[in-house]
Amino acid sequence: MIRVLVWLAVTALSGCDAPPRTVAGFAAAPEEARAAVAECEGGRRRVDCDAARAGLAEARRRDRMAAYERAF
């Protein structure tokens, strides 16, 4: 019985990690994307690095398009 309870506790706690961020999530929060990319380049982070880089690129693209639309 104790083994089952320990197994359930370990299983429940292992599922408590935050889900990986998506490109859209990072694009909506460019400051967080910049921080994540800096952590990735520093070797302190291994999860979500590709999504952070792509999200930052998307945020920059949106900024450029907004500036382009304002110019016309």
Select from 31, 30, 49, 29 the least CA-distant residue to 39. 49
Select from 70, 68, 62 the least CA-distant residue to 24. 62
Domain count, the chain: 1
pLDDT in tens, 5-49: 676 666 655 555 667 789 999 999 999 999 999 999 999 887 889
Residue 15: both structure tokens together: 């599922």
Q: Alpha-carbon distance 54 to 49, whole Å?
A: 9
Residue 43 inside a domain? The answer is yes
Select from 68, 36, 69, 31 the least CA-distant residue to 53. 36
Residue 11 inside a domain? The answer is no
Q: What is the predicted pLDDT for the residue at 8?
A: 64
For residue 56, what are the domain limits? 20-71
pLDDT at residue 69 tops 90: yes
Q: What is the predicted pLDDT for the residue at 12?
A: 59
Residue 50 inside a domain? The answer is yes
Residue 63 inside a domain? The answer is yes
Q: Alpha-carbon distance 68 to 71, whole Å?
A: 5
pLDDT at residue 1 tops 90: no
pTM: 0.70
